[in-house]
Amino acid sequence: MKNLKATLLSFIGLSAVLLAGCNDKLTVLDPKGPQAQRQADDTMLLITLMGGIVITVVVILIFMLFKYRASKQSADYEPPHIHGHWLVETIMIGIPVIIVVFLSVVSVKSNYIVENIPQGYEDQEPLVIYASSSDWKWHFSYPEQGIETVNYVYIPANRPVEFKLYSFGPITSFWIPQLGGQKYAMSDMVTTLNLAADNPGEFWGRNANFSGRGTAENIFDVKAMTAKEFDEWVTEVHETADPITEEKFDELLEPGHLGKSTYTGTHLEFSPAPHHEHHDDEAAEDHSSHE
């Protein structure tokens, strides 16, 4: 009985500690775009499912502890030998199988959705932005607008954005929690991440993969604005910013932390992105043939 009380007290104490940290809303559960909304829904589904499993197991545990606790028996007492019960074994095997199948279907369906153009934006042409990382900063190139920014990115709200990701150094992970999940940026290929912001707002992004001592500060700001504000920003940049040069870009690639900066033109003109794209079968075949 003492062990039972200790177990219950420990469980109550752990629950109190976990609930105490739930005052502030988690960023990943405060989605501002369709991709993030899908992932937040899946996260809540998993939390609910796992919570139900935990509660069920705890209830069964308490029941078993009470029902089969030690009792006074004669010295020669021998408990009866019980063979397996088909119904119990079916439940024990069947329920986990059903859970795994259900989660597999949900995961595959969600993965297909978040890898494509966000739902509700299929009829719009996405804005293409090349997001490349270096130690320890982010470079955003707008080939259509002829603009390059460092450590911040402006995007139009209510329009799909296609981020082309790669790295000038170690593998990093591009992540804007309120707009969608993370994806790796590598030095030898381009990966694509489709996102969208449903409304104007300010968010934050970061490198979610450890890439050296400066990883903690490898962050960037994200601002979603109306289409008119975005066009005005593009015009303002072309009127006020200096052009990006190869010499300046080489300076930016040096390891270290920088503030925000803006340039006209992009480094893609003299330092293009890798030719091979993830999920591009033709490029993969060319790459294999070259090797």
Question: What domains lie within the chain, and their CATH numbers?
Answer: 25-65+87-115 (no CATH), 127-290 (2.60.40.420)
CB 29 within 8 A of CB 41: no
Average pLDDT value for residue range 5-24: 52
Residue indicated by tokens 């009866």 = 80
Query: Which of the residue ranges 154-168, 231-245, 275-289 would you say has the lowest mean pLDDT?
Result: 275-289
Evaluate whether 246 touches 271 at the Cβ level (below 8 Å): yes
User: What does the pLDDT read at residue 282?
Assistant: 42
Q: How confident is the model at residue 56 (pLDDT cuts 50, 70, 90)?
A: very high
Q: What is the pLDDT of residue 211?
A: 87
- Strand duo 183-185 + 152-156: pairing: unpaired
Q: Predicted confidence band at 84 (pLDDT cuts at 50, 70, 90)?
A: confident
> What are 92-147's pLDDT values in tens digits?
899 999 999 999 999 999 999 999 999 999 999 999 999 999 999 999 999 999 99
Q: pLDDT higher for 72 or 23?
A: 72
| Long-range contacts from 41-48, C-beta under 8 angstroms, 24+ separation | 42/106, 42/107, 42/110, 45/106, 46/103
Q: What percent of the chain is predicted at pLDDT more than 90?
A: 70
Residue 245, pLDDT > 50, answer yes
Mean pLDDT across the stretch 176-193? 94
